[in-house]
Amino acid sequence: MLIDKVEKTKLAALAKPQPGRSIRPGTDKVHKANFPSRYIPREVEREVWQRDGGQCAFVALNELRCRERAFLEFHHVKPYARMGRATVANISLRCRRHNQYEAELVFGPRNLGRVAERSEPPGVFESQ
């Protein structure tokens, strides 16, 4: 009989799925309205590209700058997820590896096993 009751309760719960509720009602809209756009305007991209010389702008602790010129990405210096805006001041060129590396510094590693083996930032460097 107990099993019967439990089954009925479970089935009832499945039959009536709860509508997606906000964890903090009233905050969702405010959050969205204040969030900056992820879109980087063409003018900003062009200016950043010229300023950084079409080269990854990552500078290591030993002050050597990355030499990578291929597969460059527009990096938010202050992360987009932390309200970083798509302005020339906040956008910088990064190669794929350094964009990933800096994202891991902020958000934590994607792949703990792989990153744990890494003792220094990846990349090829040259003196300024």
Give residues in contact with Zn ion (CB under 5 A).
56, 58, 66, 68, 95, 98, 123
Q: Are 123 and 95 in contact (CB under 8 A)?
A: yes
Nearer to Zn ion among residue 30 and residue 106 (C-beta) = 106
Instruction: Give least dist CB 85 to Zn ion, A.
Output: 23
CB of 128 to Zn ion, least distance (A): 14
- Degrees to nearest 5, angle at CA 117 with 115 and 120: 80
Query: What sign has the CA pseudo-torsion 119, 96, 105, 126?
Result: positive
Q: Which is nearer to Zn ion, 48 or 56 (CB)?
A: 56
Identify which of residues 52 and 58 has a Cβ nearer to Zn ion in the complex.
Answer: 58
Work out the burial of residue 125: count CB atoms within 10 Å of its CB; fewer than 13 is exposed, 13-18 middle, 19 or more buried: middle
Least Å distance, CB 28 to Zn ion, is 37
